[in-house]
C-alpha cells in the first residue's frame, strides 16, 4: 500500500525546491564548543593565481595563525567542489562555509545586484570602492538577510574586456550575429549583448574554456586575470580593451554558521578579512596589469585598445539598459550610483 504521509512529504519537498530556486536553507546551527576545532570550507571557481585565489589562500593562512590553529580554512579553487549555480546552494545548506561569487551571480536572490552589471556605471576602481564601501554596498548587503546569508566583504576582480574568435570588435555593429557567453543569473548581461546585436548564453565559469575552444560560443567578457589564467586568450584571437563594465566579488558566509561561531573567532575573521580585502584589491590591479602584458607577449591575440570615440559609440548603444532595468534594480540604488559619479541619473 502507498504510504500517504511519504507522498505528502515528497510533494512538500518538491514545492519547497521549486519555489525557493537558488534560495535553499540549511539546518539550524548550534553554538560551536569553544574547544572544538572549526573547519571552514572556502569554495571558489577561479584559478589559484588570481586575485580571489591568492586572497583566499592568504585569508586561510592568517586565520589559522591568528586563532592558534583553532580555525582551519580549507580552500577549494577551480570549481573542484562546486561550480557556478551549485556553490550558493552548498553555502545555504551548510556544505561549505564561505564562497566569493561574482556579484552578478547573486541576482537570483535579489535583482538589485544587477546594478553592478550595468555597463559604464563606474569609470575606475575608486568609484567602485566608494559605492561598495558606502551606502550602495550597505543596501546590497541588506538584501541577503532574508536568505540566511551573511556578507563579509567586497573583493575586486577588475574591469571587463571583450574577446572573440571572429573579428576585432571596434564598433557596435561588429557584434552582429556573434554569440557570447555570459555569467549565470544576470539579465543585464544578456541584454547588454542583445543591445549590441549579439546573442547571449548563460554558462558556468568552469565550462567556458571548453565552449570557446569547441566554438560553441564566439566570445566572452572577462577580466585580464581570468582571460589569462583560464587560457581564454589561447582560443580567442581578438581582444578589445574596453573596460566597459566592472566585475567584483562578494565574500559570503552562511548566517546560521556565522552565529554559531564564538565571538572572539568572529572578530578575528572580520579583522583578518578587512586586512585581506585591502591586500586583495591591490593584488587585483597588479595581476590584471601583469596578465595583460603576458597576453600581449604571447603573440596569440590581436589586441585592440578602444579609443574615446569608440567608447562613446558603445556607451550610446547600451544607454537604453538604464531605462529598462531601473524598475528592476530600483531608482534608489541607481540614483545613488549617479550621485557618486556626479552626473545626472540615467534612465529616470
The footprint of ligand LMR (CB under 6 A) covers 45-46, 102, 157, 183, 205, 222, 226
Q: Mark residue 183 as left, alpha or beta (left: phi above 0; alpha: psi -120 to 50; beta: remaining).
A: beta
Instruction: Please say which residue, 46 or 96, places its beta carbon nearer to ligand LMR.
Output: 46
Closest CB to ligand LMR among residues 67, 226? 226
Angle between helices 263-298 and 125-132 (to 10 degrees): 160
- Least Å distance between CB 149 and ligand LMR? 17
Instruction: Give the residue with the Cβ less far from ligand LMR, 212 or 268.
Output: 212
Identity of the residue, 46 or 169, whose beta carbon is nearer to ligand LMR in the bound complex: 46
244, 160 contact by CB (below 8 A) = yes
- State how far Cα 128 lies from the chain centre: 14
Query: Minimum distance from CB of 214 to ligand LMR (Å)?
Result: 18
Can you tell me the distance from the alpha carbon of 33 to that of 30, in angstroms, rounded to the nearest whole number? 9
For ligand LMR, the closer of residues 52 and 70 by Cβ is 52
Contact of 241 with 170, CB cutoff 8 Å: no
- In the complex, the smallest distance separating the C-beta of residue 78 from ligand LMR, rounded to whole angstroms, is 10
**Position of minimal CB gap to ligand LMR:** 102
**Residue with C-alpha cell 554559531?**
260
Q: What SS3 state is found at 144? A: coil
Nearer to ligand LMR, 183 or 273 (CB): 183
Minimum distance from residue 153 beta carbon to ligand LMR (Å): 15
Q: Which is nearer to ligand LMR, 178 or 184 (CB)?
A: 184
Starting at the earlier edge strand, list the strands of the sheet with 98-99.
71-76, 38-43, 98-99, 246-254, 149-159
Provide the minimum distance between the beta carbon of 28 and ligand LMR in the complex, in angstroms, as a whole number.
30
Distance, in Å, from the CA atom of 32 to the CA atom of 38, rounded to the nearest integer, reads: 8
The three cell numbers locating residue 200? 547571449
- Residues 7 and 330: their CA atoms lie apart, in Å, by 41
How far is the C-alpha of 65 from the C-alpha of 21, rounded, in Å?
38
181: region left, alpha or beta (phi > 0 left; psi from -120 to 50 alpha): beta
* Residue 154 C-beta: closest distance to ligand LMR, Å: 13
In the complex, minimum distance from the CB of residue 47 to ligand LMR, in angstroms, rounded to a whole number: 9
Amino acid at each position: 500500500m502507498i504510504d500517504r504521509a511519504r507522498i505528502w512529504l515528497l510533494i512538500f519537498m518538491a514545492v519547497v525546491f521549486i519555489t525557493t530556486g537558488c534560495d535553499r536553507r540549511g539546518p539550524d546551527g548550534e553554538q560551536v564548543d569553544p574547544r572544538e576545532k572549526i573547519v571552514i570550507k572556502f569554495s571558489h571557481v577561479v584559478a589559484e593565481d588570481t586575485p580571489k585565489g591568492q586572497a583566499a589562500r592568504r585569508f586561510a593562512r592568517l586565520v589559522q595563525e591568528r586563532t592558534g590553529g583553532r580555525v582551519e580554512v580549507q580552500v577549494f579553487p577551480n570549481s573542484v567542489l562546486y561550480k557556478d549555480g551549485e556553490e550558493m546552494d552548498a553555502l545555504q545548506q551548510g556544505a561549505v562555509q564561505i564562497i566569493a561569487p561574482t556579484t552578478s551571480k547573486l541576482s537570483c536572490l535579489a535583482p538589485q545586484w544587477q546594478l553592478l552589471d550595468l555597463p559604464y556605471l563606474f569609470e575606475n576602481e575608486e568609484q567602485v570602492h566608494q559605492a561598495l564601501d558606502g551606502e550602495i554596498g550597505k543596501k546590497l548587503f541588506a538584501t541577503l538577510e532574508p536568505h540566511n546569508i551573511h556578507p563579509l566583504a567586497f573583493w575586486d576582480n577588475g574591469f571587463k574586456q571583450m574577446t572573440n574568435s571572429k573579428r576585432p570588435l571596434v564598433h557596435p555593429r561588429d557584434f552582429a550575429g556573434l554569440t557570447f557567453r555570459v555569467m549565470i543569473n544576470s539579465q543585464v548581461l544578456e541584454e547588454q549583448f542583445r543591445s549590441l546585436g549579439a546573442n547571449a548564453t548563460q554558462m558556468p565559469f568552469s565550462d567556458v574554456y571548453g565552449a570557446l575552444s569547441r566554438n560553441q560560443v564566439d566570445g566572452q567578457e572577462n577580466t585580464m586575470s581570468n582571460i589569462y589564467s583560464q587560457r581564454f586568450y589561447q582560443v580567442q584571437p581578438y581582444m578589445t580593451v574596453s573596460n566597459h563594465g566592472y566585475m567584483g566579488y562578494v565574500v559570503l558566509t552562511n548566517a546560521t554558521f556565522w552565529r554559531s561561531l564564538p565571538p572572539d573567532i568572529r572578530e578575528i575573521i572580520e579583522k583578518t578579512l578587512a586586512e585581506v580585502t585591502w591586500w586583495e584589491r591591490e593584488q587585483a590591479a597588479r595581476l590584471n596589469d601583469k596578465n595583460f602584458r603576458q597576453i600581449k607577449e604571447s603573440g596569440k591575440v590581436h589586441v585592440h585598445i578602444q579609443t574615446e570615440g569608440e567608447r562613446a559609440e558603445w556607451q550610446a548603444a547600451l544607454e537604453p539598459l538604464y531605462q529598462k532595468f531601473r524598475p528592476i534594480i530600483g531608482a534608489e540604488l541607481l540614483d545613488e550610483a549617479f550621485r557618486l559619479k556626479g552626473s545626472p541619473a540615467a534612465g529616470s
